[in-house]
Amino acid sequence: MKKYLLILIFLINTAEASPLPQGEWKATFIDITPNKQNISMAYCLSHTPDVYVTYAKDMFKKGVYATNGIYVKYNTFIMTEKHGIFFEKVSGIVSGVDHQQKWKTPIYIDAFKLKPEGDLNAAWSTEVCKGKIVAKVVGHASLSQSTLAQQDNTHSFVGTYECNGTNFTDNKKYSSILTLTQTDQTYQAKWIKKGGGIYQGTGFVNDSSSTLMLGFNGKNEPTFVGVTAYKISSDANSIESQWTFIGKKEIGSEICKRIAKQ
């Protein structure tokens, strides 16, 4: 019994010692499909991350929100080599909110490649869904976050943000995940509030002031209509806004930290 226990402890320590991949990664979840007969495709699509960009070390320290608002955090990383083939095993947790109910489930990822570094294709599974991941290196670990942001375009608002603000109607704090995408001359916005609630908006950048101005409304609450204006920080890692609802005399404010670039 002691012999098997020592072997188990050795394997755990070996797993913890596996060096994490370097650089900044963009992971895209594709070929999503049910892993059980009674699970629908719609369920898997709404409970699977779509795209995230982050450093591998951050995935294990604090996790990241995908552009569809699903949170991903990895816990273990094991790399082994056999006959010149490198195998990676990753486990973690994905979580989110569905109809104002919080959910989370374990995720398992298996990959193999010919070199220990570089892009990879992997298979993943949860208890009820499965698919593939395409992960590509998009930034180098030797570059700072601000340098990477400047290379991407300092004045681009495109990306995913974690926002925190104060609601002027009741002075309560709130948080949400904001995704901004560019469609030709306009921007599309989607806010997913933690605890429930989705807002969507459309706007454009005022070139003279580098301000993103958006009109928005509640996806399931069309009477919640408002306007907001975002200013981007010098390092492009955060944006700040002031906002209000149509017909109101007060304004709210929020600060959003970039958690992924697209």
pLDDT of residue 246: 92
pLDDT of residue 6: 40
- Helix, strand or coil, per DSSP, at residue 149: helix
State the sign of the Cα–Cα–Cα–Cα dihedral 232, 145, 47, 113. Answer: positive
- Same domain as 161, residue 49: no
In a domain, 146, yes or no: no
Q: Which of 19-28, 83-92, 201-210 has the highest mean pLDDT?
A: 83-92
Domain region containing 172 = 152-260
- Same domain as 197, residue 115: no
In a domain, 145, yes or no: no
**Cα separation, 254 vs 200, whole angstroms:** 16
Q: What domain count does the chain have? A: 2
Looking at per-residue pLDDT, the higher value among 14 and 167 belongs to 167
**Cα separation, 183 vs 185, whole angstroms:** 6
In a domain, 248, yes or no: yes
**Cα separation, 86 vs 65, whole angstroms:** 28
Q: How confident is the model at residue 21 (pLDDT cuts 50, 70, 90)?
A: low
- Same domain as 217, residue 98: no
Query: Does residue 14 have a pLDDT over 60?
Result: no
Q: What is the pLDDT of residues 147-202, one digit of tens each?
A: 444 444 435 788 888 999 988 888 889 999 999 988 878 999 999 988 778 899 99
Q: Which of 74-78, 95-99, 157-161, 169-173 has the highest mean pLDDT?
A: 74-78
In a domain, 147, yes or no: no
The pLDDT of 30-54, averaged and rounded, is 90
- Same domain as 46, residue 71: yes
| CATH number of the CATH domain containing 205 | 2.40.128.20
